[in-house]
Chains A and B, each alone.
Chain A
Amino acid sequence: MSGEGVCDEEVYDTVYREHAPGLFRFLAYKHGNEAKARDTVQESFLKLWEKCMDVLPEKAKSFLFTVANNQFLNEVRKEKVRLDFSKQSGTTQVDHESPGFKLEYTEYGKRLEEAINSLPEGQREVFLLNRIEKHTYKQIAEMLDVSVKAIEKRMHKALLKLKTLLHPK
């Protein structure tokens, strides 16, 4: 029962350096809160350490993304007064502070930032992961565990909405 896989300090550090920045940006874009995103990255990696015997290094990424997502959903749940398990609604309402990315400080840039901020969570995260982080639709689909087609639809809707907000008829 000696240390193996992710339990090995060096493997763990490598996994951290490889996945923590991406996980951080994913969470920050999703929730629009950098501080919360940094803490959730920490908690996810603590969980990975606890479960290091059960997680192969090549499975670490999907483990981390799953844990981070659940962690966040738990946070949201805690904030609600009463738990309700009868409804499993897919959308979650979250307060957004700012989408975090840095646009050039122009009038148009500012308006675009605001418009992106007002997108639904599902569209915003996908849009920013693609436009800012340059992830392909396929990579994003894997991160979110949905189809590429679903990602393309969200991208299309996001851009359509941004255009309507910035250039109303």
Chain B
Amino acid sequence: MTDWNRDDTFLARWLSDELNAEELKAFEQSSDFSHYQRIRETLSNAKSLEFDTEAELRRLKENRRSAQPRVRKLSSLARWSIAASIFLVSSLGLLYLWQKEMGKPVVAYTEAVNKTKVELPGGSVVKLNSSSSLAYSKEEWSSERSLDLSGEAYFEVEKGNTFTVHTEAGTVAVLGTRFNVKLRKGVLDVLCYHGKVQVVSETVVQELTEGMGIRIAEGRSRSLIVESKEPSWVSGIISLQDVPLSEALDELERQFDCTVIGNHADFNGIYNGDFPTDDFEAAVALVLGAFEKELEYTVDNEKREITLKPLR
């Protein structure tokens, strides 16, 4: 047997004409060479698969029309003036409540399932996760970079004045950096991916640098781990660190607009893990599968319903 049988890339290099003269000569003299050569030559006549690009593009556009995304954006001045007139006519609308509570116009919000991206004056970018909203005043932006957030968002902040994100559980102030802020049910998570941020709540003042994270819940803080370069939800994976099962189920509801049936209030399971946002059944299996010894459940994929069976 010749040497080349022991080299597990030899034939690959032959096919791409990368053998040196010596190797090639030895190979050509081997008894199997003619067989390999015949396979190679036969394949050189094979034709590639046909693909009708233009016809397929037309079909795609038909399909696209029946599957429009449902992200709502309230960005332009025109929309804001419409909103303002609604505000004048009916002072009990949702926008009024927002105005009263946050003092700034809502510029973007997402419903369950949706996510959106907002570009701020000056080039900073905010990516908004599902069931979240963002408010800031365009007029005052040049003098004060200040935003109100409810829900979860990832910020990529351009250098400039202090950039402040207000939530009902605390405030995050930065100069120029990338960080994620998540406020769900009074629990505030801040993860810093680049640069430096300062988190201020009634009980905690904490500076975070790259790779650091903090959770503030019921006045107490603990650190969180930052493992990636940006939050995974930006690329379609929800990653939860030590959250109660109820919060993991809420996140499923936000991501898939699904309904959870059954009482699980007595159950104090803690979930720690990831699930994809594009596969409902897989996500449910990943979350509830973590508690398979304690919880039984059924999933109806079409109705988007999860039914929890009573605890044993």
Cβ of B116 within 8 Å of any chain A Cβ, yes or no, is: yes
CA distance A46 to B108 in the complex (A): 23
Give A16 to B56 CA distance when docked, in angstroms. Answer: 10
Q: Is the CB of B56 within 8 A of A41?
A: yes
The interface residues of chain B lying within 8 Å CB-to-CB of A102 are 46-47, 49
**Complexed CA–CA distance, A54 and B12 (Å):** 38
Distance from B14 Cβ to chain A, minimum over Cβ atoms (Å): 8
Residues of A within 8 A of B67 (CB): 46, 50
Quick one: closest A residue to B48, CB to CB?
A132
Flag whether A45 is at the interface (Cβ < 8 A). yes
Residues from 66 to 81 in A contacting B, C-beta threshold 8 Å:
70, 74, 77
Do residues A166 and B35 form an inter-chain contact, with CB atoms below 8 A?
yes
Q: How far is the CA of A130 from the CA of B117 in the complex (A)?
A: 39
Whether B15 and A159, one on each chain, are in contact in the complex, defined by CB atoms closer than 8 angstroms, is yes
Question: Is there contact, CB below 8 Å, between A101 and B47?
Answer: yes
Shortest beta-carbon distance, B213 to chain A, in Å? 22
Cβ of A58 under 8 Å from chain B: no
The binding surface of chain A is classed by DSSP as helix
Query: Within 8 Å CB of B199, what residues of A?
Result: none
For the complex, is B21 an interface residue (Cβ under 8 Å from A)? Answer: no
Known A-B contacts A17-B57, A42-B63, A137-B16; the reply to A163 vs B36 at CB < 8 A is yes
Of A108, A154, A167, chain B has the most CB atoms within 10 Å of the CB of A167
Kindly state the separation between the CA atoms of A140 and B57 in the bound complex, as whole angstroms. Answer: 25
Q: Which of B35, B48, B286 interacts with A101 by CB under 8 Å?
A: B48
Q: A29's closest neighbor in chain B, by CB?
A: B49
B289 close to A85 (CB less than 8 A): yes
Residues of B within 8 A of A41 (CB): 56
Count residues of chain B with CB under 8 A from any CB of chain A.
49
Distance in Å: Cβ of B231 to nearest Cβ of chain A: 12
State which of A13, A20, A46, A103 has its C-beta within 8 Å of the C-beta of B51. A20
In the complex where A20-B56, A70-B278, A83-B285 touch, is A155 in contact with B64 (Cβ < 8 A)? no
- CB of A20 within 8 A of CB of B57, answer yes
**Residues in A neighbouring B286, C-beta threshold 8 A:** 85
- Does any Cβ of B come within 8 Å of A25's Cβ? yes
On whether A21 and B11 interact (CB within 8 A), knowing A1-B73, A103-B45, A163-B36, the answer reads no
Q: Which residue of B lies closest to A157 (CB)?
A: B8
> A108, A109, A149, A160: which contacts B11 (Cβ < 8 A)?
A160
Closest CB in chain B relative to A14 CB, distance in Å: 11
The digit string for A1-26, where 1 denotes a CB below 8 A from any CB of B, is 10000000000010011001100110
Q: Check B75 for interface membership: any CB of A closer than 8 A.
A: yes
Given A101-B47, A153-B8, residue A16 in contact with residue B60 (CB < 8 A): yes
Contact of B119 with A by CB under 8 A: yes
Which chain A residue has the least Cβ–Cβ distance from B286? A85
Give the docked Cα–Cα distance between A162 and B15 (Å).
14
Given that A13-B57, A42-B56, A85-B285 are known contacts, is A156 also in contact with B63, CB under 8 Å in the complex? no
**Contact present for B51 and A25 (CB under 8 Å):** yes
Instruction: Give 10 CB contacts A-B under 8 Å.
Output: A1-B75, A24-B56, A38-B51, A46-B64, A83-B285, A85-B286, A109-B42, A112-B39, A155-B9, A155-B15
Q: Which residues of chain B have a CB within 8 Å of any CB of chain A?
A: 8-13, 15-16, 32, 35-36, 38-39, 42-49, 51, 53, 56-57, 59-60, 63-64, 67, 69, 73, 75, 108, 115-119, 127, 234, 276, 278-279, 281-282, 285-286, 289
Chain A residues packing against B (C-beta within 8 Å): 1, 13, 16-17, 20-21, 24-25, 28, 34, 38, 41-42, 45-47, 49-50, 53-54, 70, 74, 77, 83, 85, 100-104, 106, 108-109, 112, 130-133, 136-137, 149, 151-157, 159-160, 162-163, 166-167
